[in-house]
Structure 1
Amino acid sequence: MNLPTLTTLELLMHDQVLEVRLNRPDKSNSLNDAMWQEIRQAFDWADGEAGVRAIVLSGAGKHFCSGIDLAMLGGVMARVAHADEARGREALRRLILDLQDCLTAVERCRKPVLAAIQGACLGGGLDLAVCCDMRYASSDAQFAVREIDIGMVADVGVLQRLPKLIAEGLARELAYTGRNLGADEAKACGLVNAVWPEAESLRTGVLQIAAQIAAKSPLSVRGSKEILNYSRDHSVADGLNYVATWNAAMLLSADLKEAMTASREKRAPQFLD
């Protein structure tokens, strides 16, 4: 398997689990122009790579991600400047939509994505984290919707996704105040699944959970993510109709046959990529 060579991310394979590591530790893994684009590139690649069954998203150094690189933010208006104000604002809208898509690539990826979060997960870092299927944290993790502190509305996904993960009132409080949410409170409100004492045990534990997922039927795991995402954004009736159609197409698979055979033979199943 030939992993893409990237400048702001490090890609590591652990058997069938891909680790995507944000790799600007000297900048607290802040999101610069290259990192935005490489996140999409990495997850689009992982989506199409048959040997990748689950993904762990982590951050090098002390912090997961401190948010958008301020140098990039400061240069946005110069990038979209135009003699015609309307055309300049259209260009800004297209830039925002492109940045949204860079993070949506994480959610769009058919493989489950588990975020391992230590230290700061602020602003754009939280936008990125809520695109993942699950989030896990070390005890020093801090979460915040920081856009309010620089006088802007968060616009790349946290206001849309966070209220689907925690109580709406708490999501609004975080959006309006910009306050920090510690690891224990994040677990209590359901933003993270579990908390480890420190970063290394966090990484080890999340990789183990990802390996458990990777041992399951890849077709079923991908289908489960598809149905869960669809059902989140549609009515129960719509979700039930969609899963009936999905299984009408996908149920009778080699994975189903292998799972039943392995059960009869009292062995672990061996699924195709």
Structure 2
Amino acid sequence: MNAEFLITRPDSTERLFSIGESNQALFSILTRLPYFTVVYLQEGSVELKADLSIYHVSAPAVLFFSPFQPFLIKKSEENIPMKVLHFHPDFFCILKHQKEVSCNGVLFNNLFAPPFVEITPEQSTVLESVFKQMQDESSHEELAQNDLLLSYLKIFLIHTTRYKAQNQAQVEDQIAQNSNPDHSILQKYKTMIEEFFVKEHSPSIYADKLNVSLKTLGKLTKKYFDRTPSDLIQERLMMEAKRELYLTDKSVKEIAYLLGFEDEFYFSRLFKKIPIPLLSTTGRQ
């Protein structure tokens, strides 16, 4: 990456925060990073591969990736400039500061929307200004530099959270106006997962509550979310498990019980989907 400013832990080279720009083939191979990543695309277009889906993204746009989320960005042409932010949960934890910023479940850990938002030129101007403030602050060391960078990061995330929330609302309104019956089923399924994911882990139970066959529900989630009904439930469980890891000192056994798993060993196998580095940094067993 070109012109990168980096903050590391005092006792190691581990990245806590960085900001930079790149024209290189950054992220052109499948990437899994141990921190949050924000890519600000100002020109051109890219093909984004994230999790199991492929998206075509046109600038101006902002892309968001959670720790260890696999992604690949393929540029349509060489030398497309990208601005990149990285921040570790120990620098800014989106879970602890959810009430302040509200980006968890919108920008990051959003089961039902792609990990990016295409924005207007006016919105891009706002983000460019905040990004420049971060770059200016990082160009020379001053009193409370980290605190000011953290404040600018929060402002950047608040703006992008607003933009993506507005975008999602417009999409949902458009689907609803078209009287698409799929919309009603999927909205109910999303609400039911949030309400019952701790108690109900079987997708067939949700299908029964929705009065549709499991096959029909599977076709809808595959069409709109590129995931199976079971994938969505398990991903919601893993999001909650990560939250418990970051915010509490509960053991894996305690978290299993909290999330409705009577069979600790089955949960442990499911729990292995959480990357080992995350488990090792929390010291949890």
TM-score range, shorter chain: under 0.3
Which structure carries more helix by proportion? 1
TM-score (norm 2): 0.27
Q: Which has the higher strand share?
A: 2
